Amino acid sequence: MTPDDLLYTKQHEWIRVEGQTATEGITDFAQAALGDITFVELPALNKKLKQGDEAAQIESCKAAASVYAAVSGTVVAVNSALEEDPAAVNSDPYGEGWLFKIEADTPEETGSLLNAEQYNKHTEEA
């Protein structure tokens, strides 16, 4: 079940918006498709990203996948705990498995994202 308080991309990223800051991770659907995650490459602090830019890389026993910025802005925090425990993305994708936080330049970009109902419908069609 996807949390209702998040916004989603069609590429299976989620964000939780708190003021100007958006916490981003990958969805439960994405982590299940990837399988056991073995490595996460996080973006550099203070990196400027535009919506849709490649922000991070995730590797699993099955595949490697890119994670794209859901909104434009500057990376203000990364989940360095994932360096030691990348499997947290599998076990808690909406909590301890978050990837990075971005200070949004243009919060109105969230209007192009999906709500939980729209995202669930998107994954059913996939």
Burial of 123 (0-12, 13-18, 19+ CB in 10 A): middle
Structural domain includes residue 60: yes
What does the pLDDT read at residue 2? 83
How much is the CA Rg of the chain, to the nearest whole Å?
A: 13
**Domain assignment of residue 87, given as a range:** 7-106
pLDDT surpasses 90 at 48: yes
pLDDT surpasses 80 at 28: yes
Q: What is the pTM of this model?
A: 0.96
Range 65-87 average pLDDT: 97
Structural domain includes residue 16: yes
Structural domain includes residue 116: no
- 54 within 8 A of 68, measured Cβ to Cβ: yes
Number of domains in the chain: 1
Range 43-57 average pLDDT: 98
Range 16-27 average pLDDT: 96
Structural domain includes residue 114: no
Structural domain includes residue 125: no
What CATH number does residue 96 fall under? Answer: 2.40.50.100
Structural domain includes residue 121: no
Q: How far is CA 85 from CA 36, 79, 88, 89, in A?
A: 11, 10, 6, 9
